Structures are given as structure tokens and as C-alpha cells.
Structure 1
């Protein structure tokens, strides 16, 4: 079951940013009621308890319906997930297919493929989690997923308008403030980086919350819109306009992951956000829950 929850007091906070990526703006004040939140991302051990209790089968483990993926190669129409693989050397960072590999058999308890296990990874965040997988766990635990505003308010730790979860200054050499990519992306991480780490391996923010920057991206309850001016009310408004053939809802994920390199995306900041198709988990996507 979830660990002890942390209280986030009611407040009005400045969320979003006008200084970074266009989808993060406009910065605006948002009022949130107080709520409780898990201090850590949901771990493999916690998710295993849920699966043992319910028999739940994650999206990545289920048979694939070919009609959902028109034009996809037959070899990809099997249960699996996208797994990060380091490249052999420098690559063109515009083409993320060079470090993401569709891997049959990859799922929450086989995170690197069918022969991998969770041995020694009980305290690592669970990954390869689609939105339904996170929502079903939350329902089982008597919790919910946070809205984007709730998540970001908690991530900021009471620091108004700060760029990072720890303040306005970037991490200094020798500091270990968050599990984002240190080294040459995507092929040569520094020792201790380049993969998930046990939850709580890095300092908490001022609310006592761990890994609100880095480690794994986290699902929120909100549908994704192109900016912070408003939140779409329904799935259709969140579809990717660049891929009209895929009418799949997208939700906001927050927090960045171990793959966020300053040279590439720097999206481990609280204002940063990304759209994620609800049927797609990856080896850097997990979640945490709240109680209103």
C-alpha cells in the first residue's frame, strides 16, 4: 500500500513559465485546496502488491489490436513497450528513435525486456505504466492522480516562481540534487546516472517530496493542451494534430526523468510538461498519487 502521505497546504501559486518552452506558458496564478500526496513515486514493490491483490494486467502486457495501429509492422503488434537503449556514440538529437527501441515483452516487471527482472529494484519507481495502469492502482489504493496544478504546486515546495524544485540556481558541480542525465546524452552517463534510482536517493524539496525532478515522468489527470491558457475538457481536444490517424487521448506528464539532459530538453523543471498518449508506457514513465 502507499507510504505515508505529505500535506500540501491550500495556496495560490504562480505556475507555468514564460521563460522556457512555449507549451509552459503563460505563467499564471492558480489556487489549489490543500491535499495529501505520496512523498515518493510508486515503487515496484508497491505495484507488485497491487498486482498480487487484484490480478491486474497492465496495458503493455495485453494483446495488441492491429486496428488500433494502422500501418504498423506486424512484428510490432505484440505486447511490449518502449525501452531506452544507450547509443554507441553521439547521434542527431532530433531523432529520438535512435535511443528508443520497441521491445516485445517489456513491461513493469520486465523493464528492459522479457529476460529482465526486478531483482534488486524493489525501491525503484515502477515504469512502463500507461495511464489506465496508474489510474487503476490509484483506485485500488483509495487515492487519485493529481491535476497538473496540484502536481506542480507540490513540486515547487512553496518556492514561488523558482526555476527548479530546489530554487533558482542550477545544480553545481558535485551536487546531487536530482536524477536527470549527467554526462554525454544519450550514450555516456556519469556514474550513478543514466537509469532509474531507488526513490529517495536524492534530497527532498521543501515539502519533503522526493524525485519531483527527474527519475521518472509522472502521470497527471489532465488532458494535454498546447499551452497553459486552459485545460482541454475532453479526450478529442487532446489528440495530436500532427497525427490525425491516431485518435488517442493525451494526458500531461510532469517532472522529467533520468533522460532529461540539459543539452537536450531540461524538462525536469516544475513548469515543464509533456503530452503522453494514454495507451503508452515507456521505461521512464511512472506516477504518484494524491488524496484530496
Structure 2
């Protein structure tokens, strides 16, 4: 039996427990920025887009909702099939679980048996984080969940439009005020990455999906906490030489766009919790800081004028 979520001139029927859904008004909008900071990622140039009305869940999909999906369908995630996933080394209580270090980013390690319900590998648990964002889920896993509930992943343009509250030019979902190691707006790293985290925001890893002050429209954690999968392929449109090279590489790959940054972002290392920031990752990848939220098409209710 599905759950009906009512919005302005729309009815959404979902399977499982429905998330809180926010109606987003479409119109002429834009993606990217005229003042890119990480040009190699293709943050710029700003480009105009037209966004149709849509609905977006207020928070990322939680562990408890994903558990319900698995229980109802018997779904097996890609990390389970591969037998391993990427884990932030600081989250490991048992360093013996490290199967392999990533050469240029030694704070990332491969852990055999790391999956959505044992995010740090054998012996780890989700019992105390059922209200946290589910992690260790690939793009393909996110698509499977979205199809089950009757939704989809948002496009990059939809994600940015929702984060900006329309076509406003603001740097972060809350405005333009810069987070610092003392001024906390979201779940990112405070201190010296990756050696010291002062925990000024209260979290070393993920935070509950519904934490920190929501945007004026009611969205939680669009910046920080976990990277969020979108439906779009990762392409770089910047004109810089380095970005052109990366664009050629991206055309040959199947990487998908992620938005929002994560609890591992810091201005000195991964300044990607800005709205225009982005990252590309292969669709079968799963990690400690990757999750997703669900979008829905706005469909007219019976009897509504079209």
C-alpha cells in the first residue's frame, strides 16, 4: 500500500514511508556560477536553464527507509555484490579491517564487508543511526530505491534551483555567510583536515538527515553531511586548459554528478559545500559520505486545469 503526499496541484503516491516533500516552483533559472573557485570541476560558466515545477524531499533518504526498501524487495546493493566499499579511515575502530589504502588520499581505505547496514565493515552497526542518511549506496542503488518509491533522482539544475530557493544568486543554501571552524551552519570538517576535527558542529561522521537549521523552503542538509547523487552525467564546460582535459576524460567515463559536499569537506581541502560546487563519481561507487534524496515530477490532480 502506498502513501499519498499532497502538494499544490499534485498528488504523489509512494511505497514505504513517505518522506516530507517540498513543492519547488520552476521557471527560468541557472546552473553554476560566473565566479568559479574550482574551475577544474566545471563550476562555471554560469548557464541558463528552464526548470519545470517539481517536488523534492526535504531530507536525504535515511537508513530506516532504506532498510524498509531492502526488507520489502530483497534488494542487494552493489557494495554487497562487490564485497567491499570505501571507508573514511577516521571512522574505523579496527584498523585491521583496512584491505587497501588509496594512494593519493590515504584517509580513504577499502574495507571488505563495508555495506549500507555495516558502513565501516564487519562489527559496525546502524542501530544508533537509523535517522541518519543511508551511506555506502551507489548511484544504481539510489535509482533502484527511487523507482520503488515512485520517484527519481533530481537533476543538477533542480538540485541547485532548490538549494538557492529559486534563481537567487547565493553561495550556500542559507545565504552567503561563510562557515568557519567556529561558525557552524552544516556538517562539515572543523579544524585541520584530516588530522584534527574539533567537532564544533557536533559530528565526526554523518548527522541525522533532519539536523541543523533548514532552508526557508524546508530543506535539510543541502550543504555538508553527505554528497547527494543526481541523475546527470558529469561533464565539464569550463574553458580552462585543465578543465578541457578533464572534460575529454569525463566524456569517456560514465561518472555521475554529486552535489552538496560532505562531513569531510573543509575550505582548505574540499571547498565543495557551495551550491555551485560539484563532483563526479562512477555510478557503481559507494562510500562513507555518499547518499541521496528523492525528487518527483509534479503531476496535476484530477480536475485541476492544465
TM-score (norm 2): 0.80
The structure with the greater share of residues assigned to strand is: 2
Say whether 1:85 aligns with 2:101: no
Q: Give the 3 Å change call, closer, same or farther, for CA 213–96 of structure 1 in structure 2.
A: farther
TM-score scaled to structure 1, two decimals?
Answer: 0.83
Gaps of 5+ in 2: 1-16, 92-101, 240-245, 298-306
The answer on whether the counterparts of 2:87 and 2:111 sit within 8 Å (CA) in structure 1 is yes
Q: Report if the CA contact (8 A) 1:15-1:161 is conserved.
A: no
The question of whether the paired residues in 2 share the 8 Å contact of 1:14 and 1:160 is answered with no
Q: Structure 1's 249 and 193: CA in aligned 2 closer, same or farther, altered over 3 A? A: same
Whether contact under 8 Å (2:154, 2:231) holds in the other structure is yes
Contact 1:83–1:101, Cα closer than 8 Å, also in 2: yes
Question: Match for residue 67 of structure 1?
Answer: none
For the residues of structure 2 that align with 1:263 and 1:159, how far apart are their CA atoms? 28
Q: Do residues 13 (structure 1) and 29 (structure 2) align?
A: yes
CA–CA separation in structure 2 for the residues paired with 1:40 and 1:251: 20
Given the alignment, which residue of 32, 42, 65 partners 2:61? 42
Give the equivalent residue in structure 2 for 1:290: 295
Residue 284 of structure 2: aligned partner: 279
2:213 to 203, 217, 223: 203
Match of 2:261 in 1: 256
Q: Give the structure 2 partner of residue 266 of structure 1.
A: 271
Contact 2:161/2:167, CA 8 A, preserved across alignment = no
1:1-292 equivalences in 2 (<5 Å): 1-19=17-35, 20-22=37-39, 23-62=42-81, 64=82, 79-86=83-90, 96-158=104-166, 160-171=168-179, 174-191=182-199, 192-227=202-237, 241=249, 249-292=254-297
In the TM superposition, structure 1's runs of 4+ consecutive aligned residues that sit over 3 Å from their partners are: 172-175
For residue 163 of structure 1, report the CA deviation from its aligned partner. Answer: 1.1
TM-aligned CA distance change 1:222 to 1:201, over 3 Å: same
Q: CA deviation at 1:265?
A: 1.6
Which whole-Å CA distance do the structure 2 matches of 1:285 and 1:172 have between them?
23
Give the CA deviation at 1:15. Answer: 2.3
